[in-house]
Amino acid sequence: MTKEPRGRWLLGAGAIGLVLVLVFVALSREPVQLDASSPEGVVQRYLQAISDRDHEAAFDYLDPDSYEGCDPSDLARNAPDEPFSASMQEGEEYSSERAFVEVTIRFGNGGGPFGDGWSQYESFQLVAGADSWLITDEAWPYFGWDCRKDI
């Protein structure tokens, strides 16, 4: 009977430890903050404000012309109660006045054999404002129909 060399055992334990450290680092990283002056950065901050239930901050990212008659309470009333995450998709289209940002929004944890969550695709349309990009059209979560006085 021969003994396993001690070096092999230490090498295996070190490799397992390295994998555990890499997994921990990957799971604990904060999302990359996109440039606040870009359309993607505006959508990211808007969605983060909704996630944080800071509906006043989220409302500030909306084009006032598109949401005339609305206020942050209208947004809050239609915002999701459950946690969500979002990821940017490829294929943003730009001009000097308009941009489209495509996002997948995921709800639930996605665990289990078939996943416990669900996702939806959303396209945000933005217009260039005086100081920054503003979300226009009917942005997720859809609420403009619920607050407009002129309809």
Task: State if pTM tops 0.85.
Answer: no
- What is the number of domains present in the chain? 1
The predicted pLDDT at position 111 comes to 60
Q: Are 117 and 85 in contact (CB under 8 A)?
A: no
Q: Per the domain annotation, does 28 fall within a domain?
A: no
Q: Where in the sequence is the domain holding 111, given as residue range(s)?
A: 35-146
> CA geometry: angle at 126 spanning 54 and 35, to 5°?
65
Q: Highest mean pLDDT: which of 17-21, 72-76, 140-144?
A: 72-76
Q: Per the domain annotation, does 1 fall within a domain?
A: no
Helix, strand, or coil here: 139?
A: coil
Q: Per the domain annotation, does 9 fall within a domain?
A: no
Side-chain half-sphere CA neighbours of 79 within 13 A:
22
CATH number of 79's domain:
3.10.450.50
Kindly state the DSSP code that residue 132 receives in the 8-state scheme.
S
Q: Per the domain annotation, does 51 fall within a domain?
A: yes
